[in-house]
Structure 1
Amino acid sequence: MRSFQPKWIIYHVLVGGFVLLLLYPVVWLLMSSFKVSEQIFLTADHLIPDPFILENYVQGWKGFGGYSFGVFIKNTAVFVFITLIGHLISSALIAFGFARLKFAGRGFWFAVMIVTLMLPYEVVMIPQYIIFSQLGWLNSLKPLVVPAYFGHPFFIFLLVQFIRTIPRELDEAATIDGCNTFQIFYRIILPLITPALATAAIFSFYWTWDNLLGPVLYLNSPSKYTVSMALNMFLSNETVSNWGAMFAMSIVSLIPVFVVFFIFQRYVVEGIATSGLKS
């Protein structure tokens, strides 16, 4: 009888309607990828393609400059993997230092790190470009991946809060057993912060995969373009934009995002909501 209560019905109707509202842009994008490019916006109010074509996917996958879209996906995958590893390693080590080690000015430097969360990228964009230009790192992945190995403020904050929930008695017991500081981190802390690391990895994947401004600044050769840059190349201010091919490759680029989300979505909740130890 509980399943037929009015509150239950109203709740699910509202939630279902909200889900449809959120999914409609994605469905519209998918359907538009099968339309003739010239008719996409002329028939924007019609969801079903008429005629239904696959040519947009063929043209989009051909890419441009002699490079197929598969090259751009591979470049992005390499970019994401290297950046993700840097974020996890550096952020975990820095977070352990803030949460467990005592050093002069720890509170001050932690506050400075938190302040950088509110610092827009546009503020440091030009100084960083000048530095990387002088180092000769332009048109390479170095300006995009090297900073990841110096920690990410959001991930550091997340991991610090997670580590603080782990009882210090575990550290003391490990010290009695002869573990040094690094062994405590590697053997005790690191296994317990796996949910938080998984959360950081998911966010790092999303933010890096969608990153457009960074690659646009530092990458000049089409052979090194990422997915976001390749999608942008389908648009033109001088000739007719190939909206169909761009929408088709947008769907292709969304596949890894959806796969990662559906496989690892539970880690997002665990990493943010759970404590370091479970009873």
Structure 2
Amino acid sequence: MTTTVTPPQARPDMPSQEYNPQAESVLAKRIKSTIFHVVTLVLVAIVLYPALWMVASSFKPNSEIGGTNTSLWSSNFSMDNFVTAMDGIGGVSTMTFFTNSLILAVGAVVGTIVSASISAYAFARIKFPGRGLFFGMMIATLLLPFHVVIIPQYIIFQQLGLVDTYIPLLIGKFLAADAFFVFLMVQFMRNLPAELDEAARIDGAGHVRIFRSIMLPLMKPALISTSIFSFIWSWNDFLGPLLYLNTPDKYPLPLALRLFVDQTQSSDYGAMIAMSVLALLPVLIFFLVFQRYIVEGVSTQGLKG
């Protein structure tokens, strides 16, 4: 005799408490996403606070900058700091400082692109004895601090009578390629198909033609990334101009900012901060215009298709 067991029927007045793993998974993902975004916003606020403070302080009077005043915004909103900054200092106009920085930055970009691209093509596409050794020695220069060569370089340029000129600041960009940018371009070139070079040689093209007509157009992302970093580093460079430039009308913006601070008399911190904001604008604009090329230039995934 077979006995059939009938499962108990749920009462209509008792709510169902079935376990739903999918709903719990969605809830856990939302909680993790919320925590991630909150932490990210907090970190962004910490990172951007100095820049926000600089912009806000550029509209404050000198009496409210520093000291016991810790408020971010001032009730005495004024454009006087920007007017003073645009008037210049030491008998030199602000536009002169901007022009000097632009000359150094553009010269550094041109020199770096020329020297780094040619050097990278030699290491990536030309086979010559000792190529690996020379490439390793070049990479090893990244471990050499700039401060080690300051005194020898200064003595050389002083004996050549080139101090207080822009030549010491620019000649190295054209004649001595930066190892970081050479490595960046070498890695990019190595991922380009070698068949392009072989097809060009069959048509009778030499290294100059291959480099100019094939490599340079394909290296656009790497070249723009190099230009961005080189422009920013040169625009913000303080130590180099401080060593080699003595005449105020040749100063770039980083040195001009120092002129507003005088330890023997009153310092105009408001005008200095206002000029810092103005000096930040070209770099910010340059970065925003070309930022989409940075990832493409740094990545070395090669070509597809």
**Do they superpose with TM above 0.5?**
yes
Please report how far the alpha carbon of residue 104 of structure 1 lies from its aligned counterpart in structure 2 after TM superposition. Answer: 1.9
Alignment match, 1:203: 229
How many Å apart are 1:44 and its aligned residue? 4.2
2:278 pairs with 1:252 = yes
- Seen in structure 2, the aligned counterparts of structure 1 residues 278 and 229 have a Cα distance that, compared at 3 Å, is farther
1:153 matched to 2:179? The reply is: yes
* CA–CA separation in structure 1 for the residues paired with 2:266 and 2:179: 42
Residue 221 of structure 1: CA displacement?
Answer: 1.0
Contact 1:163 1:193 in 2 (8 A): yes
1:85 corresponding residue in structure 2: 110
The answer (yes or no) to whether the contact 1:193–1:276 under 8 Å persists in 2 is no
Pairing 1:112–2:112 present: no
How many pairs were matched up?
279
**What residue in structure 2 maps to residue 14 of structure 1?**
39
Give yes or no for the alignment of 1:272 onto 2:272: no
Secondary structure, counterpart of 1:5 in structure 2: helix
Encode CA deviations 1:146-194: one digit per residue, 9 max, x unaligned.
1100211110010011111112111111101111111111111111111
Q: CA deviation digits over 1:88-142, x for unaligned, max 9? A: 0110000000111112221111111111111111111111111111111111100
CA RMSD across the alignment: 1.6
CA contact (8 A) 2:187 2:300 kept: no
Q: How far, CA to CA, are the matches of 1:156 and 1:122 in structure 2? A: 21
Query: How far apart in 1 are the matches of 2:291 and 2:40?
Result: 19
Distance in structure 2 (CA, Å) of the matches to 1:184 and 1:258: 35
**Residue 49 of structure 2: which of 24, 34, 56 is its match?**
24
Between the aligned partners of 1:118 and 1:242, the Cα distance in structure 2 is 39
Greater Cα shift, 83-92 or 39-48: 39-48
Counterpart of 1:164, as a letter, is R
- Mapped contact 1:90–1:149 kept (Cα < 8 A): yes
Alignment gaps of 5+ in structure 1:
none
Q: Partner of 1:182 in structure 2?
A: 208
State the Cα deviation string for residues 14-44 of structure 1 (Å, max 9, x = none): 2222211111111111111111113211254
Which amino acid is the alignment partner of residue 92 of structure 1? S
257, 260, 266: which one aligns with 1:234: 260
Out of 204, 217, 220, which is 1:194 matched to? 220
Partner Cα separation in structure 1 for residue 67 and residue 164 of structure 2: 39
Q: Which has more radius of gyration? A: 2
| Other-structure match for 1:96 | 121
SS in 1 for 2:262: coil
TM-score (norm 1): 0.96
SS in 2 for 1:83: helix
Q: SS where residue 75 of structure 2 aligns?
A: coil
